A and B are shown apart, each in its own frame.
Chain A
Amino acid sequence: MPGGLLGIESLDRVEIEGILDRAKRFQPRQTDSKKSDQLRGRMIVNLFFEASTRTRTSFEIAAKRLGADAISITASASSVSKGESLVDTLNTLGAMHPDAIVMRHAASGAPHFLARYLVETPIINAGDGTHEHPTQALLDARTILDRRPTLEGLRVAIIGDIAHSRVARSNMYLLSKFGAHIVLCGPASLLPPELAHLAPNISLTHKMEDAIRDADVIMMLRVQLERQHEAAFSANEYFQFYGLRLEHMSLAKPDAIVMHPGPINRGREISSEVADSQRSVILNQVENGIAVRMAVLERILGN
């Protein structure tokens, strides 16, 4: 992956498998704070223009476990708040010659735009607007593969505000490439029909029961409160129709798992009983974030 990691859409299976296999080898080091020296002397800038706890922290930990220096900058603390343009901010950082920039931005395509101007520095997309969040899809795939031999033939329900979800897009691309069947489910205004054309093996439904029936994996998405008006549902009504509750679980496969990229809104898109149940792998996802990001950094920065 020369030039960084902008999205899952343009990756092929071999590249994805390579990262997932490598991430598996890194899993023991998630709980072992010893540093290695694979990326010693390398500098990684984490540039976050949008609030993030888990993604930023897990990129930082991943970098440090590999021996790299990680510097985290949040937009409000930087010159961005003084009116500097994105290009100028990145040029300034680029002039300090970091070995990679991990970037989260509220605008779709912001890392792609920068990659065109900052050709020397690999850019790793840590979430761009409503477009892609590639490392999330990779850690989700790692989490599923920790429990299933293959993604092929799995039935994966993704439920919630699909239209505005970068997690959904990256997961759709990844799962589709490996032959999973993806059922997208959400209120009509948050589920544009064009989604079915983004990749093979995608179907759409507005009925939660249809999405969950026989599912191997149920991925819940965070209700984006700031976009709730577009769905025209009150919190109550939303939970009634699109919230995951214990009673739904009998529709899914007996060993189905429940995933969520976090942060979860209990009682909005998922009930506490489900979130805290044996079926939930939400914390495993967080753990795998470190191994997967180690694999990505190694892939991009390693020799």
Chain B
Amino acid sequence: MSKLIIRNGRVMDPASRLDAVCDVAIEDGRIAGIGPNIDVAGSIELDASGLMVAPGFIDMHVHLREPGFEHAETIESGSRAAAAGGFTSICCMPNTSPVNDNATVTSYIIERAQRHAVVNVFPIGAITKGSAGEQLAAIGLMKDAGIVAISDDGRPVMNARVMRRAMETARSFGLPVIDHCEDLHLSSGGDMNEGVQSVRLGLRGIPAASEDVMVARDILLAELTGAHFHVAHISSRHSVEMLAFAKARGLAVTSEATPHHFALSDSEMPDYDSNYKMKPPLRSTCDVAAITAGIVSGAIDAIATDHAPHAGSEKMQEFEQCPFGILGLETAIGITLERLVHPGKISLLRMVELFTTGPDRVLNLNRGRLAVGAPADVTLFDTERSWTYDVNRSASKSRNSPFDGHTFRGGPVATLVSGKVVWAADHVGLGIPAASQ
């Protein structure tokens, strides 16, 4: 089979703490060697001078909308958006129709992904049947079918006893429990963060406390059950504090943050622009600072996008009628460079960690490393080139992004999955024949 050498890139592998200009050799879809001046006869050469060469990025929180909502996204279109954003692996949430609460749906998603996705797709199963919060889903059977975690994302389990049983079950099957932490009674009817802006705009507020009380509950339940609890899209400063506290107590607790939660505050939303409406909502500037600090300190383990496509007609409504969620896959690297790396808050190696070993440690995907013998999932990105995000050219089927028209410094350049180039930026002549795609 094909041989490929990625030449002269800055190779960064957080697992081995490697950060050096060298070559990466790929053979038969796996990493065959890493080092200076590798020479393999018959290889295609890919010039990565000036580029970062990292393990394939993992987005552990996306919505692919298939089955059920194919007008907004499909496994194929979502996977192409992932590739265009530098991601080689994505984990899809179970809030499809039907809900991924049994092995049949899990297998369907995996089969569709094998046939149509250009990146690796790892399904996340529901916690409860229909994500209705009452009876546990077929967690063990879904695990056998290939789920990597359970979550009732978007429709969180309100009943603490049900959550306790879910954690016990998940622990016995070695799965993490990912919770979208929101007390639905407290957030009831809210459309944006509760604060001066919501009062000013006359929109119902979602208090940060609605997240905090559930983070607190789940930390206590994780201690009770010994389960691995993962906080999805953490957005509030008190939640970050509690997470650091739980980690210090040695609990199996992890978390992810989205780029929009460390990039934007509620005060930056243009009045009633539904491309800024998501859950959790954009919080205060204090919360944004706390999320950033949590990423720096390690309280937050991963960056995940919560890529949530919605068709234009769904977002073209009165603000309070619009569904929650925004696109995220294609802008994640650009935002992270802009907000965290360029201002010097984190190193490039830490950034790579947040997209690779960080999520891999949560989910045990056996991805996110550049090691000989590992699948050749590789993300190439640069840190300087200026580019402007045009959502109308997005690979996603939806257009709901607050970053449309934003100019970034640095972004994804090419994405390789199992040694195959599945996406390359327009400007790049990597010397790769189109046939290898």
Contact = CB atoms under 8 A, between A and B. Distances in A.
B201 A108 contact: yes
A163 interface: yes
Interface in B310-342: 313, 316-321
B199 A195 contact: yes
Interface centre among A87, A107, A130, A131 (most CB of B within 10 A): A107
Contacts of A113: 272, 274, 317-319
Interface residues of B, number: 20
Given A86-B318, A108-B320, A113-B272, A129 B199 contact: no
Contact of B318 (A105, A130, A198): A105
B320 A107 contact: yes
B196 interface: yes
Interface string A182-195: 00000000001011
A86 B199 contact: no
A128 B202 contact: yes
Interface residue tally on A, bucketed by range: 20 to 34
B203 A108 contact: yes
A132 interface: yes
Contacts of B205: 192
Contact of B272 (A108, A130, A194): A108
Nearest to A6: B271
Contacts of B202: 108-109, 128-132, 164, 166, 169
Interface string B190-202: 0000111011111
A241 to B, nearest CB: 22
Contact of A198 (B196, B272, B274, B317): B196
A36 interface: no
Contacts of A277: none
A195 B205 CA distance: 13
A112 B196 contact: no
A107 to B, nearest CB: 4
B200 A109 contact: no
Contacts of B317: 85-87, 113
Contacts of A218: none
Contacts of B316: 85, 87, 117
Interface string B176-198: 00000000000000000011101
A198 B200 CA distance: 6
A200 to B, nearest CB: 14
A131 B204 CA distance: 11
Contact of A109 (B194, B195, B201, B313): B201
Contact of A131 (B194, B201, B313, B321): B201
B202, B205, B319, B320: most-surrounded residue (chain A CB, <10 A): B202
A110 interface: yes
Nearest to B320: A107
B209 to A, nearest CB: 14
A34 interface: no
Interface string A108-141: 1110110001000000000011111000000000
Contacts of A197: 196
Contacts of B313: 85
Interface string A260-297: 00000000000000000000000000000000000000
Instruction: Sort A-B residue pairs by CB-CB distance and give the 6 closest, nearest first.
Output: A131-B202, A109-B272, A107-B318, A130-B202, A108-B202, A194-B199
Given A86-B317, A107-B318, 6 more contacts: A107-B319, A107-B320, A107-B321, A113-B274, A131-B202, A132-B202
17 contacts: A86-B318, A107-B318, A108-B320, A109-B202, A109-B271, A109-B318, A110-B318, A112-B271, A112-B272, A113-B272, A113-B318, A129-B320, A169-B202, A192-B194, A194-B200, A195-B199, A197-B196
